[in-house]
Amino acid sequence: MMTDVFPGQSSASALPKKESAASVMIQSIVAHLYEQQLGNLEGSVADYIPELGKISPDQFGIAVALESGELITAGDAANEFTIQSISKALTLAILLDLVGRGETYRAVGVQPSGDPFNSITLDPRTNRPFNPMVNAGAIAIAGRLRETLGPSAFEQVLTRMSQAAGRELRVDQTVFESERETGHRNRAIGHLLRAAEVFTVPVDEVLDLYFRQCSVLVTATDLAIIGATLGNIGTNPISGKEVFGIHTVRETLSVMFTCGMYDGAGDWACQVGLPAKSGVGGGIMGVVNRQLGIGVLSPRLDAAGNSVRGKLCCIGLAEELGLHAFDSTNSGSNFLRGMTEFDQL
């Protein structure tokens, strides 16, 4: 079964034999950023979910996955941690694929809210959550997924997440239980959404799905591959499997760009200029459309809830490779093409 569903599991054999010039260059930039940020201990670990407070704050891993299927990693890129809010981008994509944008946006908007991620608020104009990246929006999405997919909703979500990562992912049961026991705000949000008839299934079943999706274990390498899958028009560049539809990808990346980085989204758009999503577990997933995916793990967070070292690494990568969407030279969009031509010389 593993071979059918995850043909890219033995990724080493699927990797191209010859290292591209792009890969060699990115390798040295990633190694430099890793060394540069290793001693940066600013920020603090999220501990409002008791089990999250116990993770080692010093973990630091960077991964970049290219459209060619090449992988570049540094540090703890193979360490597992819970995906948390980064899952929100994926459940949005899964619902968009299942029911389309019209149905999806009946449950949730796409406006940045400017409110904290766990705010118990609906958009007064629509009585729907502002966007799918705040908890209310993600719980609305979970509600619609539970309605559409029935009791096996989580298994189906996990399968899609696994296909995007190219390996079989699993839940951290301890973190899941810790959040289920203490997630009172999320429960309140669930009841608010149920009262507003955003979904009609029982709130507990919806929250079970939401807490489980947040507790899925990933590595920085997984995040880079998932990011590269989104960047590669929805096809995992290592396994070659189509995971998300083309329209879904455009929609998901747009929402990540405007709403993906908590209250720091505007600042991120200016400084990094890439669609990205962060999670309170310390992960950041970034996407360079049609080029590459970035995954970083570093659990110490800034005041906006984004990984301190993760953000600095993304700023560094964007600067060094000219990846910012609106860079004056826009060298980002030509970067790999230029390198491919170089390889062909």
Residues forming the site for ligand GLU (CB under 6 A):
84-85, 117-118, 135, 179, 186, 214, 279-280
Which residue number, 206 or 280, has a Cβ lying nearer to ligand GLU? 280
280 is catalytic: yes
Q: How far is the CB of 219 from ligand GLU (least distance, A)?
A: 17
DSSP character at residue 52:
G
Sign of torsion over alpha carbons 148, 154, 160, 164: positive
CB 276 within 8 Å of CB 284: yes
Q: Which of 110, 201, 249, 280 is catalytic?
A: 280
Q: Which of 249, 262, 296, 307 is catalytic?
A: 262
262 is catalytic: yes
Which residue number, 11 or 82, has a Cβ lying nearer to ligand GLU? 82
Q: How far is CA 272 from the centre of its chain?
A: 16
| Backbone phi, psi, residue 335, to 5° | -60, -55
Q: Which of 30, 134, 210, 277 is catalytic?
A: 210
Tokens of 126: 């629509």
Q: How far is the CB of 177 from ligand GLU (least distance, A)?
A: 13
Q: How far is the CB of 49 from ligand GLU (least distance, A)?
A: 6
Query: For the residues of 251-314, what is the DSSP string, one character each?
Result: HHHHHHHHHTTGGGHHHHHHHT-S-EEE-TTSEEEEEETTTEEEEEE---B-TTSSBHHHHHHH
Which residue number, 207 or 243, has a Cβ lying nearer to ligand GLU? 207
110 is catalytic: no
Q: How far is the CB of 118 from ligand GLU (least distance, A)?
A: 6
Which residue number, 219 or 239, has a Cβ lying nearer to ligand GLU? 219
210 is catalytic: yes
105 is catalytic: no
CB 223 within 8 Å of CB 68: no
Q: How far is the CB of 214 from ligand GLU (least distance, A)?
A: 4
| Single-letter amino acid, residue 128 | R
Angle at 139 between CA 201 and CA 223, to 5 degrees: 130
Q: Which of 11, 23, 85, 307 is catalytic?
A: 85
Which residue number, 9 or 118, has a Cβ lying nearer to ligand GLU? 118
Q: Which residues are catalytic?
A: 85, 88, 210, 262, 280
